[in-house]
Copies of this chain bind each other. A is one copy, B any other.
Amino acid sequence: MSKKWLTKRSEDYSAWYNELVEQADLAQTSEVRWCMVIKPYGFAIRENIKESLDKMFKNTGHKNAYFPLLIPKSYLSKEADHVEWFAKECAVVTHHRLMTNPNGPGVVVDPEAKLEEELIIRPTSETVIWRTYKDRIQSHRDLPLLINQWANVVRREMRTRLFLRTSEFLWQEWHTAHATKQEAIDESNLMLDVYDDLMKNFLGIYGIKWQKSASERFAWADDTLTIEAMMQDGKALQSCTSHFLGQNFAKAFDVTYKTKENKEELVWATSWWMSTRIMWALIMSHSDDLWLVVPPAIAPLHVVFVPIAKTDEDLDAITEYLMPIFESLEKASLSISWQFLDKDIDIVYKIDDDDQKSPGRKFAEYEMKWVPLRVAVGPRDMNSWVLEIARRDTSEKKQVAIEDAAEYIQKTLYDIQTSLYETSKSRTNENMIYVDSRDEFVSWINDNKFVLAHRDWTAETEELIKQETKATIRCIPLNSDEELGECIKTWWDSWKRVLFAKAY
């Protein structure tokens, strides 16, 4: 388990990513090509993200529930765009029994056990949830209905990449119903702010909160908001979406409520999701040629103490020496200014006294997993009442007096957290370019920049630009000033710049 150097990002981004995910013990491909295995360290990071997001959802009045994994085919049969959006490439269950192979070894599908109606593994749950809402919503008293589900979903992907694109992935999907249009729009805006809070303060990722263009929008939405984040290679990742769905679902599933005045009205709806894809964004935003980089706010382990002990007596003495620090760390915490969460993060530390592994081996292991702070303690440190604390991001080592150690740890974790965000933010701002000519546009897009440019507002031009440059409109500025200009493709009039980029 000694350190194997990663392929450099400049040489091969894809190889770098795969090696890093393997070495940091985050996930692995499975023999079942549709699915991935999320390994304990990767899953611990994901659990921290989930836990915080879940609390933010609850703090904003939302509740969790659980809906069926399997959806009858007829639910998806209503309209052609249902199939397109919900289940074109999907997993279809047709039988319910295996039997011993009568003609050889192994088992075969029992041909007698064909289902009357095929079932689809949920690619998303709108159809099944909205059927439930139809019964649940009768009166204005039942609204708003603010329900979330944490679930696995399946959409068949041919070319898989861990976390970014696998046929099975984990996500949360919210589906809300409201009495008024304004309430639904407010909800959709609010939840985008919740995601942004998570990305900024927890994941340390600078994201751009903007609106999707009509052609990139979810077909059932009247408006789709998104947070686009710039990865280190300059490409964009859509990290989440928040949809204002108008009354489209209410019409499709015939969901109405009685107003106070006893009038029958259609409900207004929103939906929004974030998936395990965010793990990919996390890696692509912060990690470098050497290692995985994990912001302290979501790190499963903050400080590891590695005793340099030759004998059991040494180890006992070191452990005793560290006791007051452990006690201080129990009381310390990582304070972050959240908008939707008022919880400080406990500092997680451990002493690794496994005598099966050498200190060097331990150093390598914790570096691969990017534990932010490492403290090696030997008899020499004990004589001088200091600790040598190694900071993972800058590789700086510092001698800290034992009585100052807990405070130093607390402060340094905070520094690391904020500096990761600042790096992400300046990278994005430095690589976001205002462009007014077609040649410049092509050249900057090829250089993987975020390009703010004018375009006419036709879908045809958007498609042409995409075909020529592989750039798509990632989003349209929310609340930005209007500015007259000319489309970089057609020279037709435009009144607002939009953000073009190549995207994952």
Contact = CB atoms under 8 A, between A and B. Distances in A.
A68 B357 contact: no
Given A32-B119, A91-B96, A107-B76, A38 B66 contact: yes
A141 B64 CA distance: 40
A43 B64 contact: yes
Interface in A114-159: 118-121, 128, 131-132, 140-141, 147, 152, 154, 156
A72 B107 contact: no
A400 interface: no
B89 A96 contact: yes
B91 A93 contact: yes
B40 A65 contact: yes
Interface string A75-110: 011101011000111111111111111000111010
Given A30-B128, A64-B47, A68-B37, A121 B93 contact: yes
Contacts of A65: 37-40, 43
Nearest to A140: B356
Given A34-B119, A89-B96, A128-B32, A40 B68 contact: no
Interface string A410-426: 00000000000000000
A410 B106 CA distance: 60
A31 interface: yes
A191 interface: no
A40 B69 contact: no
B100 A80 contact: yes
Contacts of A170: 66
Copies in the complex: 2
B96 A93 contact: no
Contacts of A154: 69-70
A40 B67 contact: no
Interface in A32-64: 32, 34-40, 43-44, 47, 63-64
B83 A90 contact: no
A131 B232 CA distance: 35
Nearest to A64: B43
Interface residues of A, number: 69
Contact of A119 (B72, B89, B91): B91
Given A94-B94, A95-B94, A98-B76, A69 B107 contact: no
Contact of A156 (B32, B96, B147): B96
Given A66-B170, A70-B168, A77-B107, A120 B94 contact: no
A395 interface: no
A74 interface: yes
A70 to B, nearest CB: 5
A360 to B, nearest CB: 15
A73 interface: yes
A121 B44 CA distance: 25
A405 interface: no
B77 A105 contact: yes
Contact of A31 (B32, B36, B131): B131
A74 B31 CA distance: 11
Interface string A233-255: 00000000000000000000000
Contacts of A368: none
A499 interface: no
A98 to B, nearest CB: 6
A87 B106 CA distance: 13
A71 interface: yes
A32 B71 contact: yes
Contacts of A93: 91-94, 121
A59 to B, nearest CB: 13
A121 to B, nearest CB: 7
A470 to B, nearest CB: 27
A66 B30 CA distance: 11
Given A31-B131, A40-B147, A109 B92 contact: yes
Nearest to A145: B40
A141 B357 contact: yes
Q: Which of A82, A89, A107, A156 has the most CB of B within 10 A?
A: A107
A364 to B, nearest CB: 14
Given A64-B47, A66-B170, A69-B35, A97 B107 contact: no
Given A68-B34, A70-B32, A98 B109 contact: no
For the complex of A and B, list the 9 residue pairs with the smallest distance between their C-beta atoms, beginning with the closest. Answer: A35-B68, A77-B106, A40-B63, A38-B66, A92-B95, A91-B93, A94-B94, A32-B68, A96-B156
6 contacts: A32-B68, A32-B72, A40-B64, A40-B147, A43-B66, A76-B98
